[in-house]
Structure 1
Amino acid sequence: MGYVQGEEFAPSHFRTRTFSFYEIPLIHWQITPIQRKSTTPSTAVLLRQKKWVSPPSGEPRVWHLVSLRRGLEQSNDDDAALLVSQLRLQVDGSAVWRKWSQDHPDLAGVLWPAIAKLADRELYILMPRLLEMARRIDSVPYLQSTISGYLADEYDALIRDMRAAGQNDLADSLAAEAAEDAQESPPTVDSPS
């Protein structure tokens, strides 16, 4: 009782770490120091080494919760688990996204910066579909166009949903991000035959 453990992800550095501590149950007052251990998947290490994601210098300042477990409760996943599970995804003992990135370095140079930007913005919910689409594309211009179109559509939907929910500040923030992305986007390319 009172044991808390979890994992967190630093979107700026593509690093993960576990943490654990003891707390007084029910009131959740921490009574021991936090113990941390690096658990960064090999795929994330490769992405940094190849500069497909470019961490700033220094230590991460922001960590997003991946999972949390208190005592004997079941572990609860948070949004960042959508990305971290993909970074750890293995088939036949091989890290899927590590292999894909090594086999498709030009595509990886387009996909992972987009994923890093979404992680930084805490838009993990948009990643599974984007990753699924990327696996089927073998043209850099088409991948760029697909990412731009997908994100534009998803931002529009999120902005409408936030406005309908009365979350106008969040909708304005999303609109600003979408406008920034639109300025950076390449022209649309039709699907290769």
Structure 2
Amino acid sequence: MSTSVSNPADPHSVGNKSQGNPSQITGTQGQRPANRGKAADNRKARLWVTLAATVLFVIVGFLVIRTQGYVSGSEFSPSHFQKRDFSFYEIPLIHLQITPIKRSGTTPETAVYLRQTGLIPAATGNPDVWHLVTIQRGLTGRTPADAQLLTDQLELNTGSNPYWKQWCTDHPKLARELWPTIQKLADRELYILMPRMLEIAQNQPSIEALQTEIDKYLKREYAGLIADLKETGRNDLAEALRQEASRDYPGDPAF
């Protein structure tokens, strides 16, 4: 019995084992450059998609902030009788301010006149308190606040003349009684009481009559506001208003 063993030194034997199938080796080597090329193309495609999405996001974000993030309005200082406009940009919905506030003075001529003639107490320094007059966000309409009830009157003109400036010139004694009371109400943010106050002032023949009507009106309105605040559970505000009314009318049983 004989066994055939391959000779390790036989070049034909070694060659057959190491070379294998020439066609399979050639195919594997040819696929690698092609795969690398496809991977590079995929990376480029992802890069361009990311870049395009970023540019689109920036453009859309800019347009949204430019149209919906623009905030403008005006405010009024009761201590100085000054008015100013303001504007800035914010991120919509979350109302995060992203630009500095720009301000410009727009004080009406009548307000300047009241300060210059001493019809309201002169305040020194810069105003610390500002009350909102109007505000507008984006494309929404301008929203008025309570202080507009006063600024509209200060800006009221008859022809080319400021109405209340002319009224003060014509009724200096009544003006000295009216405007300090108006300023006191502005300090307390009681602008809602002013239209009627100004109407009363125009229909009084003397300073005594004006004082009587103003006191009657304010006592009634203070009592009503205090009762309304208590009914809605805002007892702190009701007490603060009661104390202010008590200072104006000490000893009055209503306060």
TM-score, normalising length: structure 1: 0.93
> After TM superposition, what 4+ stretches of structure 1 lie above 4 angstroms from structure 2?
none
The 1-side partners of 2:218 and 2:173 are apart by 20
Separation in structure 2 between the aligned mates of residue 51 and residue 24 of structure 1, nearest angstrom:
43
How far 1:169 sits from its partner (Å)? 1.1
Question: Which whole-Å CA distance do the structure 2 matches of 1:28 and 1:172 have between them?
Answer: 33
Which range moved further: 141-150 or 12-21? 141-150
- Aligned residue in 2 for 1:148: 215
In the alignment, which residue of structure 2 is the partner of 1:73? Answer: 140
**Structure 2 partner of 1:64:** 131
Specify the alignment match of 2:193 in structure 1. Answer: 126
CA distance in structure 2 between the aligned counterparts of 1:183 and 1:144, rounded to whole angstroms: 16
Match of 2:34 in 1: none
1:141–1:88 Cα change, 3 Å: same
CA displacement at 1:104 relative to structure 2: 0.7
For 1:82-97, what aligned pairs fall within 5 Å after superposition?
82-97=149-164
Percent of pairs with identical residues: 54
CA distance in 2 between partners of 1:111 and 1:28 (Å) = 40
- The root-mean-square deviation of aligned C-alpha atoms, in Å, is 1.4
Q: Is the Cα contact below 8 Å between 1:13 and 1:55 reproduced in 2?
A: yes
Secondary structure of residue in 1 paired with 2:124: coil
Paired with 1:91 and 1:13, the residues of 2 have a C-alpha distance of 25
1:6 to 70, 73, 77: 73
Unaligned runs of 5+ in 1: 186-193
> 1:21-60, aligned counterparts within 5 Å?
21-60=88-127
Alpha-carbon distance in structure 2 between the residues aligned to 1:56 and 1:176: 24
SS of residue in 2 equivalent to 1:145 = helix
Aligned length in residues: 185
Residue 102 (structure 1) aligns with? 169
- Select the structure that is richer in strand: 1
Q: Give the AA of the match of 2:230.
A: R
Letter in 2 for 1:149: K
| 1:136-160 superposed Cα distances (whole Å, 9 cap, x missing partner) | 1130111111111110000000011
Contact 1:6 1:69 in 2 (8 A): yes
Q: Which has the higher helix share?
A: 2
TM-score (norm 2): 0.71
Per-residue deviation, 1:56: 2.1
Deviates more, 1:122-131 or 1:163-172: 163-172
Counterparts of 2:199 and 2:102, CA distance in 1: 35
Q: Deviations over 1:26-61 (max 9, x none)?
A: 211111110000000000001001111113210000
Distance 1:27 1:128 in 2: 36
Q: Quick one: distance in 1 between partners of 2:148 and 2:229?
A: 23
Q: For residue 117 of structure 1, what is the aligned residue in structure 2? A: 184
- Asked if the contact 1:8–1:18 (Cα under 8 Å) also holds between the matched residues in 2, the reply is yes
SS in 1 for 2:239: helix
Whose relative contact order is higher, 1 or 2, with alpha carbons under 8 Å and at least 6 apart?
A: 1
Structure 2 match to 1:190: none
Give the superposition deviation at 1:184. Answer: 10
Where structure 2 has 5 or more consecutive residues not aligned to the other structure, the ranges are 1-66
